[in-house]
Amino acid sequence: MIRNEIRLIRYLYINGRPRYSTSSTNVYSDKIYEEVIDQGYKGLARHIIPENYGSNQVISSNNDEQLSQLIRNFKSPIKFSIGYGSGVFEQSGYKKSKKPQIDMIHMVDSPAEFHEQNLKQYAGHYSGIRMFGPAIILKIQEYGAGVYFNPYILMNTESKKNNIIKYGIISVEKSLIDLSEWSSLYIAGRLQKPVKYLKDADPAIKFINQYNLKNAVSLGLFLIKSTEFSEIELYETIAKISYMGDPRMLIGGENPNKARNIVGKQFENFQKLYNPLLNFFIENNIIIELEPNSSKRNFRKNLDTDKAARIIGSLPLQFRRKLYKHYESTFAKELSQDLKAESVINGQNISINTEIGPFTRAIAMDPLLRKNLVNSIKFTVALPAFIQTIKGIFSAGIIKSINYAWEKRTKYRHG
Q: Is residue 141 part of a domain?
A: yes
Phi (first) and psi of residue 177, to 5 degrees: -60, -45
pLDDT 10s digits, 103-146: 999 999 999 999 999 999 999 999 888 999 999 999 999 999 99
What is the reported pLDDT for 381?
Answer: 96
Give residue 9's pLDDT band: very low, low, confident or very high (50, 70, 90).
Answer: very low
Residue type, 69: Q
pLDDT tens for 224-243 read 999 999 999 999 999 999 99
How far apart CA 34 and CA 22 sit, in angstroms, is 19
Q: In what order do the strands lie in the sheet with 148-155?
A: 148-155, 163-171, 102-108, 80-84, 196-200
- Alpha carbon distance 238, 56 (integer Å): 17
Range of the domain at 176: 55-211+384-413
329 domain-assigned: no
pLDDT at 352: 63
Given a cut of 90, whether residue 270 has pLDDT beyond it is yes
| DSSP H or E stretch at residue 267 | helix 258-283
Contact 166, 103 (CB under 8 A): yes
Question: How many domains, in total, are found in the chain?
Answer: 1
Residue 14 is predicted with a pLDDT of 35
Q: Dihedral through CA 169, CA 173, CA 174, CA 179, nearest 10? A: 110
Residue 2 pLDDT class (50, 70, 90 cuts): very low
Domain assignment of residue 78, yes or no: yes
Q: DSSP letter at 9? A: P
Q: What mean pLDDT do residues 37-53 have?
A: 82
Least confident of 168-177, 252-261, 276-285: 252-261
Residue 21 in any domain: the answer is: no
Q: Would you say 178 and 184 are in contact if contact means Cβ atoms under 8 Å apart?
A: yes
Whether 135 is covered by a domain: the verdict is yes
> 286 in a domain, yes or no?
no
Q: What is the mean pLDDT of residues 39-50?
A: 84
Q: What is the 3-state secondary structure (H, E, C) of 24-69?
A: CCCCCCCCCCHHHHHHCHHHHCCCCCCCCCCHHHCCCCCCHHHHHH
Establish if 241 belongs to a structural domain. no
**pLDDT range class, residue 24, cuts 50, 70, 90:** very low
Residue 248 lies in a domain: no
Examine the pLDDT at 364 and tell me if it is beyond 80: yes
For the segment 293-340, what is each residue's pLDDT rounded down to a tens digit?
A: 777 899 999 999 999 999 999 999 999 999 999 999 999 999 999 999
Q: Does position 19 have pLDDT exceeding 60, yes or no?
A: no
